[in-house]
Homo-oligomer: A and B are copies of this chain.
């Protein structure tokens, strides 16, 4: 995996590590909103919401546009493809790892049975 992609994954997973920021993305998935709307919706100060939107914007998950005095937020260009791919690959590793452990346990059980039979013979 190239360094650039690593830094991008770092930024997007960090952006997703806050329930308010995930809520903002869900909200913008339904409709564009101003920062004031979002601050109201999440019972947060304008300054607090600006910080959250900044983190999302730097991660490419939100795009903002200022028209007059209002800054409107909408979903950004990133569809979280790489993040989903990473999680899917992890789950495959996880499954393979636990399957391997299951096989070891099964092998031990089988061996125990054979040994038990030998002792009885």
Contact = CB atoms under 8 A, between A and B. Distances in A.
A33 B79 CA distance: 34
A29 interface: yes
Q: Please tell me how many copies of the chain the complex holds.
A: 2
Taking residues whose C-beta sits less than 8 angstroms from the other chain, chain A's interface range is 20 to 34
Interface in A1-54: 6-7, 9-11, 13-14, 16-19, 22, 25-26, 28-30
Nearest to A85: B87
A88 B29 CA distance: 13
Given A83-B87, A86-B22, A87-B80, A94 B29 contact: yes
Contact of A6 (B19, B80, B90, B91): B19
Given A13-B17, A83-B87, A87-B87, 8 more contacts: A6-B19, A9-B17, A10-B19, A13-B13, A75-B98, A79-B91, A84-B84, A84-B87
Interface of A: 6-7, 9-11, 13-14, 16-19, 22, 25-26, 28-30, 74-75, 79-80, 83-84, 86-88, 90-91, 93-98
